[in-house]
Structure 1
Amino acid sequence: MVASTHWLASAVGMSVLEAGGNAFDAAAAAGFTLQVVEPHLNGPGGDAPIIGHRAADGRTFVVDGQGTAPAGATIEAYTDLGLDVVPGTGQLAAVVPGAFGAWLDLLARYGTLPLADVLSPAIGYARDGYPLVPAAVRTIRTVERLFAEHWPTSAAVYLPGGSVPEAGARFTNPDLAATYTRVLAEAQAAGADRLAQIEAARRAFYEGFVAEAVAAHVRTPVLDSSGTAHAGLLTADDLAGWRATEEPTVAVDFAGVRVHKTAAWGQGPVLLQQLQMLDALGVADADLGSAELVHTALEVTELAFADREAWYGDPADRDVPLAALLDPAYAEQRARLVGPEAADGVRPGSPAGRTPRLATLFGTPTAGPDGAPVWPGRFEDAGAVGAVGTGEPTRGPGPGPGPTPVDGPALDVRPGGETRGDTCHVDVVDRWGNLVSATPSGGWLQSSPVVPGLGFGLPTRAQMFWLEPGLPSSLAPGRRPRTTLSPGLVLRPDGSGFAFGTPGGDQQDQWTIPFLLHHLVGGLDLQAAIDAPGWHSTQVPSSFHPRTSTRRGVEVESRLGADVLADLARRGHAVHDAGPWSLGRVSAAGRRPDGLLHAAANPRGMQGYAAGR
């Protein structure tokens, strides 16, 4: 079974399973297809962390598809340009593209099919066309002027005939099709051996014609979100020196299962921290539809994400106290901070007695009620996006009406609507019980200009670094940015379980909380748990340019009920009714304890599908 954020990716993945491929083959085929059909959400030049489980031996692993900062990306290289944050768009935000290499690595280690069988569907859609979804059209419209006036290579692809394409129209990307086709041709020229072909494809991308085109393109200054044109720092040597790697998952026990995430170079551990705090607060006995539960979950979320700001980063060259952060005793200590009213500010903890520190952009800390430091945060209007692009598709305000405010003492109405593009996600389970969860993202069409001749843009994940020394996620050459991408797996003691995840930037490890609670605690099936009303905090500091938040802000689906929304407002939350079906893009696929396969997709985007037989 396959579940993803786009029906064509689900169909492609299912066709690979029916052709005899395993879950790893199917996930890669779906992933390559997503690069074509959701260009506003991901691309070949993006990022792709992948979590997999091999049923034959119980091996559970992470394929790290997060590219690193260029060798020339020092803090001084940016501050010398007068910048205090990394721009969210353009060339300066580019890191090594990791998605293509991650899918190749997964295929080489765990797949079974030839590369042509896995890559051909994506080539076909790029060459022959697919119906462009309305969200992609809306995204292109927000940056039409930018493309026409400043990013001509993007205009050539996304403004065919000089105008925004219509929703549902057949859309092609001949340059992307040609790029895939040439990569595949160079792979097949390496001989008949499957692994030799995959390695040749990797070389073509990271050491061959793709890397050469990327390096030449980045030297051209383009307008970015700073309002100024800048060239980039990425080089061909940066691409040649990077490879996707495999590492262990990080996991905790909750509700009789084991929940697996990436390490703290991603935000995945914040989900584990939330689950542990909720467990300490007795969530097993809670009314999952009550204002009390939603309030508690929101407060727990803000505590976990405050720890993300203080402690998460690339553990390859930083001392990240992850074991202490995931200690049940620490969770109990943090849970005691949850009170009856909405708390203000950013409140990181002190794992293993260490003193937290946040970026100076969060303001000057003061002592909280418990004596621990509280930072005020950075609350500003993110501004318009049309002139400079969007750093990440979940955050940018776009055309259309804004969310409906809920009357209450803490009201904070944002201007305009939001471009809720999010990211992509795919989950796969095969007949043998292998599981894959992947959250491809980056290389968004609205964030980085198209590389001439390649048909895709670069990742802008460097915007997640701080230009302040000494922080866990400070910029440094060769360091991984602290990504928001957060695939997940749940495994039971008998070996059954499911893959799950969602697009959504900082919301990813918030939108999966109501899903997991309703499924693991409330006993709802996967689809009913996905359909349950959702919520998230916007007081959580944004990981994306310009790194702002909404004081005590929360988004809630109106299906929670007017009484719940009013109760949350009385507790001091700045509540915004996001409508009945708006929050989350969760999908899941797995094997039940009785051996039956099951999967579910999200109805909210009206394009996610689950398929299987």
Structure 2
Amino acid sequence: MRFTTRPELSGTFGMTASTHWIATAVGMSVLERGGNAFDAAAATGFALQVCEPHLNGPLGDMPALIWPACDDAPTMICAQGTAPAGATIAHYRAEGLDLIPGSGLLATVIPGAFDGWMLMLRDHGTWPLAEILAPAIHYARHGVPCLPRVTDAIAELADFFRTEWPTSAETWLPGGAPPQPGALFANPALADTWDRLCAEVAGVKGREAQIDAARDQFAQGFIAGAIDRWMREACVMDATGHRRKGVLSGQDMAGWRASYEPVLSGDHAGWQVFKGGFWSQGPVQLSVLGMLAGDDLAALPPEGADFVHRVTEALKRALADREAYYGDAPEAAGPLTLAPEYLRARRAQISGTAGATLDPGDLPGFETQRTAALARNAWLAGRQVHSGPGVGEPTMGHLKKPGDTVHLDVVDRWGNMVSATPSGGWLQSSPVVPGLGMPLNSRTQMFWLDEGLPTSLHPGRRPRTTLSPSMARAPDGTRLAYGTPGGDQQDQWQTAFILRLIHHGLNLQEAIDAPLFHTDHLQASFDPHGFTPAHLLLEPAFPPATIEALKAMGHRVQVSAPWSAGRLTAVSRRPDGLLRAAATPRLMQAYAAGR
């Protein structure tokens, strides 16, 4: 079955795709005026911070895959900040915590997104900083039409902002009330911050030197100074219902910069897929592709029960391995989970019925990590958090809802390509830093407060993030960039997308529009870290026979609202120069543009 809501775009000049139409148009305008894919991606990224402030911000996180036209493989820009020097298990335990709150000041790592964009722009772009920031400054100063989801997020927290986070009330409650859907919503403090940054570095000669000066201003100048001064005094309510101070300092920011690192890759049916390292969940996709390498997926209908079942069961195993073996620590055993013999053993465990337990694979010599992961999941399952007076612990449920993420893909006429998944700095998870118009991130919640794990909280260590941009190369040399927001679902939806491209001959838009599915049979990465055994969410566009067959296999099926799973976007370039692009119709805001 093939169905598409929009045409797959094609052309030869350039393509942009993102999760908001204004940001997509900003990126395309950069290409039209002679910028390359790296210029366009940076301008798109800063625009997304204004258009979708409930999903990302300047003090958030940003992994990006970049693929210069002249290179044989992509490279990762890691703009995932690390835990501050004061973020020790002992300190958090002394605060009475057994889990890191999903909001508040103890939830933040060092902000990374800004420096990542600057690294990309300095080394690969062509435009000066002021021109890259100009669209974001315009929209922050004059406003963007407020998305209903932004209005809803602010309205739910309005009273809390007024009483507990007054700096957020100043920014998100113009005139003392949430913005109306569709009304122009501005962030003048953010526009002032970017204007001041441009003014501070305007006298520096040379494009690259000016960008480096902006990086210094962010990490050691007035932006870091504002954060440092505020963090010394601020004591704010977090998701546990208690007021706490944070540990991030200006010294932490001064000592950190975004970096380049090699990508991981895996082969599947003649395709090569590229992902981030084991500090991210990116290898999950490679693991699933490796497990299913010997299956005749082309013989299975892409909306059929057998296809969904096999992919889901492989995802369950890869995600269980993620919790036991991934992490930014020397003892992490993640690389061993991609060994061909290990993946064959994991594939052999898949039967015709849905698995109901979260079982990491057996890795000789790493039994401690496996045992710890099983014990942690059992502890979480028994740690029921109840709401209501006198029952359990305070929940602050409105602060336990994680924000989501944005995504963008760009390819230019020369063949340069970017796939980036910015996130963090959500308006609902941290108060606005006074005078800057931007909140801090909350990525620390992906660490654990137990010693000896690959994901144990440790200063200088990256959290095991869910952010996971993707790139691939087809057997004919076509290069592809793709990704989606969605937390723990990112590599699930991406896997369905790439398998339907590879095995079922769908084009980019058809593969994005095809019914999506995912499982919550995993240890959730966000506070309160839930686990739902045998869960399987299906969009209602799946045939009724597929839904019933999956139930019969033992899956606990949840049929979602129509068009509600995934926010995929993608761009590609054939060796002859033909460019293509597509974006999801889900949530009615992502768009692709190109010619």
TM-score, reference length from structure 2: 0.93
The alignment status of 1:480 with 2:483, answered yes or no, reads: no
- Secondary structure at the residue paired with 2:123? helix
2:492 corresponds in structure 1 to 510
CA contact (8 A) 2:64 2:76 kept: yes
C-alpha spacing 1:278/1:376, structure 2 compared with 1 (3 Å): farther
CA contact (8 A) 2:271 2:475 kept: yes
Consecutive unaligned residues in structure 2, runs of 5 or more? 1-14, 388-393
C-alpha spacing 1:425/1:364, structure 2 compared with 1 (3 Å): closer
Identity %: 49
CA contact (8 A) 2:385 2:395 kept: no
Consecutive unaligned residues in structure 1, runs of 5 or more? 366-374, 395-421
Equivalent in 337, 347, 354 of residue 335 of structure 1: 347
Partner letter of residue 378 of structure 1?
A: A
1:160 corresponds in structure 2 to 174
CA contact (8 A) 1:261 1:269 kept: yes
Answer 1 or 2: higher relative contact order, Cα 8 Å, separation at least 6.
Answer: 2
1:249 corresponds in structure 2 to 263
- Secondary structure at the residue paired with 1:543? coil
C-alpha spacing 1:380/1:5, structure 2 compared with 1 (3 Å): farther
TM-aligned CA deviation for residue 296 of structure 1: 1.4
Partner letter of residue 205 of structure 1?
A: F
CA contact (8 A) 1:144 1:386 kept: no
CA distance in 1 between counterparts of 2:30 and 2:272 reads 29
Equivalent in 324, 336, 344 of residue 310 of structure 1: 324
> Which digits, 9 at most, give the CA deviation of each residue in 1:114-156, with x for residues without a partner?
1111111101110111101111111112212211211111111
Equivalent in 423, 430, 449 of residue 441 of structure 1: 423
CA contact (8 A) 1:359 1:468 kept: no
1:189 corresponds in structure 2 to 203
The alignment status of 1:239 with 2:253, answered yes or no, reads: yes
TM-aligned CA deviation for residue 493 of structure 1: 5.2
- Secondary structure at the residue paired with 2:331? coil
Partner letter of residue 31 of structure 1?
A: G
Q: How many aligned residue pairs are there? A: 574
TM-aligned CA deviation for residue 377 of structure 1: 6.2
TM-score, reference length from structure 1: 0.90
- Secondary structure at the residue paired with 1:108? helix
Equivalent in 364, 367, 379 of residue 355 of structure 1: 367
2:152 corresponds in structure 1 to 138
TM-aligned CA deviation for residue 378 of structure 1: 2.4
The alignment status of 1:567 with 2:562, answered yes or no, reads: no
1:55 corresponds in structure 2 to 69
- Secondary structure at the residue paired with 1:64? strand
CA distance in 1 between counterparts of 2:154 and 2:395 reads 10
> Which digits, 9 at most, give the CA deviation of each residue in 1:314-337, with x for residues without a partner?
1xx423334321112211110111
Name which of structure 1's ranges 547-556 and 529-538 shifts more when overlaid on structure 2. 547-556
Equivalent in 41, 46, 49 of residue 35 of structure 1: 49
- Secondary structure at the residue paired with 1:155? helix
1:293 corresponds in structure 2 to 307
CA distance in 2 between counterparts of 1:138 and 1:120 reads 28
1:228 corresponds in structure 2 to 242
1:121 corresponds in structure 2 to 135
C-alpha spacing 1:493/1:559, structure 2 compared with 1 (3 Å): closer
- Secondary structure at the residue paired with 1:499? strand
CA distance in 2 between counterparts of 1:377 and 1:72 reads 26
TM-aligned CA deviation for residue 52 of structure 1: 0.7
- Secondary structure at the residue paired with 1:49? strand
1:368 corresponds in structure 2 to none
TM-aligned CA deviation for residue 218 of structure 1: 2.1
CA distance in 2 between counterparts of 1:570 and 1:235 reads 54
**What RMSD in Å do the two structures reach over aligned CA positions?**
1.9
> Which digits, 9 at most, give the CA deviation of each residue in 1:459-510, with x for residues without a partner?
1100000000010010001110000000000123554311100000000001
CA contact (8 A) 2:402 2:526 kept: no
CA contact (8 A) 2:455 2:463 kept: yes
- Secondary structure at the residue paired with 1:232? coil
TM-aligned CA deviation for residue 279 of structure 1: 1.7
2:29 corresponds in structure 1 to 15
- Secondary structure at the residue paired with 1:466? coil
Equivalent in 390, 399, 408 of residue 399 of structure 2: 390
The alignment status of 1:325 with 2:328, answered yes or no, reads: no
CA distance in 2 between counterparts of 1:392 and 1:377 reads 17
1:553 corresponds in structure 2 to 535
Name which of structure 1's ranges 587-596 and 550-559 shifts more when overlaid on structure 2. 587-596
Partner letter of residue 413 of structure 2?
A: R
Equivalent in 346, 358, 378 of residue 381 of structure 2: 378
The alignment status of 1:180 with 2:194, answered yes or no, reads: yes
Equivalent in 275, 279, 282 of residue 293 of structure 2: 279
1:214 corresponds in structure 2 to 227
Partner letter of residue 122 of structure 1?
A: A
1:404 corresponds in structure 2 to none
CA distance in 2 between counterparts of 1:457 and 1:362 reads 35
CA distance in 2 between counterparts of 1:438 and 1:588 reads 11
TM-aligned CA deviation for residue 285 of structure 1: 3.0
The alignment status of 1:107 with 2:116, answered yes or no, reads: no
CA distance in 2 between counterparts of 1:145 and 1:336 reads 53
CA distance in 1 between counterparts of 2:371 and 2:435 reads 39
Partner letter of residue 306 of structure 2?
A: E
TM-aligned CA deviation for residue 187 of structure 1: 2.1
CA distance in 2 between counterparts of 1:211 and 1:381 reads 39
CA distance in 2 between counterparts of 1:571 and 1:313 reads 33
Name which of structure 1's ranges 590-599 and 32-41 shifts more when overlaid on structure 2. 590-599
1:390-429 alignment to 2 at 5 Å? 390-391=399-400, 393=402, 422-429=404-411
